[in-house]
Structure 1
Amino acid sequence: MSSKKKASSQHKTKGSSSSSLSDQDDNETQVIDIIKFPRTPHLFATNKDVSRDDLVLDERDVASSFYSVAQAPFITLEEKIDGSNLGISLDVESYKLRCQNRSHYVTCQSHSQFKTLQSWLDEHSGELYALLSANNNGYILYGEWVYAKHSILYDKLPDTFIAFDIYDKHAEKFVSVQKRNQLLNLHAPTLCVIEQIPNNNGASLTKEYLMHLLNTYKSHYSSTDEPIEGVYIRIDEGDYLKKRAKVVRSDFIQAIDTHWSTMELVKNRIDFSLKKY
């Protein structure tokens, strides 16, 4: 099995090829392959409920192989934020932008949290076309769509979309943090990097240290004393991502039992003094 199939769970899904996302005709759809963003495993369980639906790395695998990337001098820690996963790609046949939420395409009519999606795409169409058409139309941009509050209210957002990954369809790999930031070239905000630490086979990244971060580090995107939702742990090798995992606050895991979409929509807020894009 190729790494693409392992990482993305590619499958057939109904999608629209219209020029405007708001013009989708449900009676005229075509079958399109979606490269679904892979589930990120938990580095360890912070709550007994984490293993019900999620992937959790075996402690022996973490000790023996997760950190053992010979050509990776650093481990990057990024703030995990609470939004909706959004992938943006370019249809190579129609040359039109497509947006996906996990395993299906979405438009500004799909849900109230996506009501500003088309206007955001219009505003950033130049940057998106430049990025996604590069490398022979080889990239997919992934990020968090944070228009609506899920469990954490963000009031210091630089934009409604916070990018966290770029997938290289030709290499069938996600690019490194450095490559991602070079490709975005200040055209889109990315996840806040908490720190980069030396990759000494995990000796500097203990469970106790990560739990300390979860309990004390305040969200970069909130003016309150709200701790972060979680931390992404990334290990890059050259221009590509090699390993990825996450740790999530135990109270956040408990809170997702009451899904945000069943409650009245509350908008997160953009801090326009931070908006540079």
Structure 2
Amino acid sequence: MRVVTRLSVNINKVAVLRNSRGGLLPDPLQAARIALASGCHGITVHPRPDQRHIRAIDVLRLPDVLAGAELNIEGNPFAPARDGYPGLLELVRQTQPAQVTLVPDGDGQLTSDHGFDLEGDCSELAELIDRFKQHDCRVSLFVDAGVRHVARAAQLGADRIEIYTGPFAAAHARGDPARELAACAATASEAVAAGLAVNAGHDLDQQNLAHLLDAVPAISEVSIGHALFGESLYDGLATTVIRYLRILDSAQK
């Protein structure tokens, strides 16, 4: 079943550039404004406790620029608060995003590179999901393509899963994406059968996105940041966002 796929632009990379120099520029919120004005459906941020890119203070300012678009906040729900980082639940309480995506990343990870293991004891995760949902946001769990027992995400109280597409993107770049595409498609089908919606993200770009959507028509949202801002260095942010939207439009047809 094909659904309408929405684009959420991850603005973390703008904050990385700003933080490398210090000061206020480039401003991630201005990037969000341009992306939204160009037609994207939402903004994604992934504040980490070490504040190496998007920071809590940026996240708290985002509701003022959304103009009705969706905010998706990603993060590790188990990471404790510390100086400059109030914790993921507190950020959600203060900003009331449409969606929170729970990701099991540690402090030392360069980027998210694996999803939740849904086979073990997930009682703590279920309790946290309930606490997030008390703030009227939907909850998405970051999972690997091919994860076992994906239906358990629904039993834990999640509304969606986000399929980690890094292995698919790497396989696509090598020219042999069939196995990874099949894993993504199988996971999405199991999720939909369990009543979950499906998101996808990580290393998606203009070269591989259409192939993913063709194989996995149930994807409701893609979150794209690294490649999108890399491409926008050459072609401009507004132009790049519009090109992604055209890919999504073509997939619907």
- TM-score normalised over the length of structure 1: 0.25
Higher relative CO (Cα under 8 Å, sequence separation at least 6) belongs to: 1
- TM-score normalised over the length of structure 2: 0.27
Larger-gyration structure (1/2): 1
Higher relative strand content: 1
